[in-house]
Amino acid sequence: MDLHARGFQRRVHEILEMARPGDRASRFFDIFILTLIGLNILALMLETVGSLYWRHYHAFQYFEAGSVIIFTAEYLLRLWSCTSDPSYRHPVTGRLRYSLRFLLLVDLLAIAPFYIPLLFGGLDLRFVRAFRLMRIFRLVKVGRYSRSLQTLGRVLHSKREELILVLFVLLLLLVISSSLLYEIEHHHQPEAFSSIPATMWWAVTTLTTVGYGDMCPVTPLGRLFASAIAILGIGLFAIPAGILSAGFSEEMGRLRGHAAARGEGAGNASDA
């Protein structure tokens, strides 16, 4: 590949993956793809309205085909230009490793529903039609272009150990509470509290304070235990909110520090 072609390949990669601040082409591309994703999700929801779908059947089909062409071109351009990144320099193994990245797999799942029925010819199979719902993965593509979602991802990654610990405690409490209430209520309500897995539904609705009322303890001991679990659930579910709040505060502080450092660097450069 000559120097001009390599430069074009690198520019395509910059627009698609790693735009510089102030890069208008990359910004326009991001806005265009975000808009297209939003319209695709809207179309997916409107297709479930039978009368509307059949009245505008051809419009839905043309829009879907046009969107798939654009998303497919985006996917192929990403695979083609990724070798300009030193981490994926090898033309074969580099592209293979790049294609196994999470967001590339999401890109593939976003276009797969269009091509899968074609592979089966005209067969009207239920599982093939169900693949159309996989188009919802186009919504996940928003994370690549949204700075807010990227910030959320960094917060979740930085607080993953604390969140995993809280999740483990919640699962432990779920199993213990459902097991104990099963022992208390099973003999009095054998149909409602028929097993520990069935009682877990009660534990979930109680710990989350939803309380649908379809499963309620009737014994005094069961009601006392359920009250304690409900109060405990309120406190436990407040812990992840506190962890995420602290994580967002740390992340915003870090971003402000980086912005201040860039401002000082620009000021020093102008003084020089």
Q: How high is the pLDDT of residue 18?
A: 60
pLDDT tens-digit series, residues 144-169: 666 676 787 788 888 888 888 888 88
195: which DSSP letter? Answer: S
User: Which amino acid appears at position 243 of this protein?
Assistant: I
Which residues have C-beta within 8 Å of that of residue 111, sequence separation ≥ 6? 68, 71, 72, 75
pLDDT above 70 (res 78): yes
Q: pLDDT-based confidence at 264, cuts 50/70/90?
A: low
Domains located in the chain, CATH noted: 3-145 (1.20.120.350), 160-271 (1.10.287.70)
From residue 179, alpha-carbon distances to 50, 173, 202, 223 in Å are 45, 10, 11, 15
pLDDT at 62: 93
pLDDT at 20: 60
Residue 34 phi/psi, 5-degree rounding, is: -60, -45
Mean pLDDT, residues 221-247: 85
Separation CA 24–CA 242 (nearest Å)? 38
Phi and psi at 183, nearest 5°, equal -65, -35
The mean pLDDT value for 241-263 works out to: 80
Is 242's pLDDT higher than 50? yes
259-262's contacts with Cβ under 8 Å and 24+ in sequence apart are none
Question: What pLDDT does residue 106 have?
Answer: 80
Half-sphere exposure at residue 66, Cβ-oriented, CA atoms within 13 angstroms: 12
Higher pLDDT, 146 or 38: 38
Q: Give the residue-averaged pLDDT of 37-60.
A: 87
If 0-12 CB within 10 Å is exposed, 13-18 middle and 19+ buried, where does residue 71 land?
buried
| pLDDT value of position 133 | 57
- CB of 29 closer than 8 Å to CB of 15: yes
What is this structure's pTM?
Answer: 0.61
